[in-house]
Amino acid sequence: MPLKVEPSFSVTVACCPAVDAGPLAQPHSAQTATIVISILKSFAPPAKSLTQTAPKRSGILRLPVTPDQLAFGFLQYVVFLLSTTCHEASHALVAKWGGDTTALEGGQVSLNPLPHIKREPFGMVILPLLGIAFGGGLIGYASAPYNPLWAQQHPKRAAWMSLAGPAANFSLALIAAITMRIGLAAGLFIPLYPSQGHIVGTINEAGAADGIATVLSIFFSLNILLGCFNLIPFPPLDGYGVLGLFTTEGGALRLQELRVKMGAFSILGLLIAWQLFGRFYPQFFDMATRMFYVGYRFS
């Protein structure tokens, strides 16, 4: 009988495998979990919206966030849902190509969010929406199963599976960037001083084009963040699994075994990665936005 192992982390930006403490050779005893957080203040609505005075309400009816923030949070959630689905589907697809059909059998080789939501309804629906509604940030997770026996037998293939999730995030960011540059060239968008939630904008802030610019900006920023964090080479992040691509077959196998032996202690790697991420990510995001605007002449 397959053994289901639930993700053990809840507040971070990560794609991490949660593995059972038992033997590595037990089939279907592991799953990759994408655990996502984006701080609502970092992906803030336009300043004009934030400076508007909210109607006064009695203490019991006062909302923790404004209607504009709720609307912006909903856009974040849509991007989170689609990005997470692509991330997990990529893991599942590459595992299938490598000979592990565990996720395929679970219906997760799909860009349809429903199979992923069905697997993790709390992490993909309830938790993110609660975080947005109460101003705590967009928090959620999703998972795709894999067979650890297959990973032991084919550690290089497992390393490619680890790379697939972040690669999907960077691909989404690239698609968003290309679309925004086309919009700039066509005069549909105008350049902005980049922030996490706004890379480009429009002259008319009330039109449909402004909404498209905002969604594309969030796609770019959130997926850069997810891809970058997940590639930090500490267990249980994807970047640790990717290290197997740069070593021998035996070295990749030892990396797999070490990750399993660490078990719950891998949360220490997660905490270290999060601290390091806060130090270098602002510079990385600045570099990404500079690359986006390379060759663009501001009038």
The pLDDT of 231-259, averaged and rounded, is: 87
First CA to last CA across the chain, in angstroms? 64
Q: What is the DSSP string of 104-157?
A: HHTT-SSS-HHHHHHH-HIIIIIHHHHHHHTTS-EEEEEEEEE-HHHHHH-HHH
Max mean pLDDT range (56-65, 102-111, 143-152, 187-196): 102-111
178 alpha-carbon distance from chain centroid: 20
pLDDT (tens digit per residue) in 56-96 = 443 444 456 788 888 888 899 999 999 999 999 999 999 99
Which residues are within 8 A (CB) of 45 and not within 5 positions of it... i.e. 6 or more apart?
68, 69, 71, 72, 197
Question: pLDDT at position 299, please?
Answer: 60
Which of residues 264 and 20 earns the better pLDDT score?
A: 264
Give me the percent of the chain exceeding a pLDDT of 90. 43
- Which residue from 225, 241, 219 is spatially nearest to 274, judged by alpha carbons? 225
pLDDT (0 to 100) of residue 39: 36
Decide which of 14 and 235 is more confident: 235
Of the pLDDT bands very low, low, confident and very high (cuts 50, 70, 90), residue 269 is: confident
Per-residue model confidence (pLDDT) at position 206:
73
Q: Work out the number of other CB atoms within 10 angstroms of the CB of residue 164.
A: 26
Element (H, E) at 17: strand 14-19
Residue 34 has pLDDT above 60, yes or no: no
Report the predicted TM-score, pTM, of the whole model to 2 decimal places.
0.78
The mean pLDDT of the chain is: 78
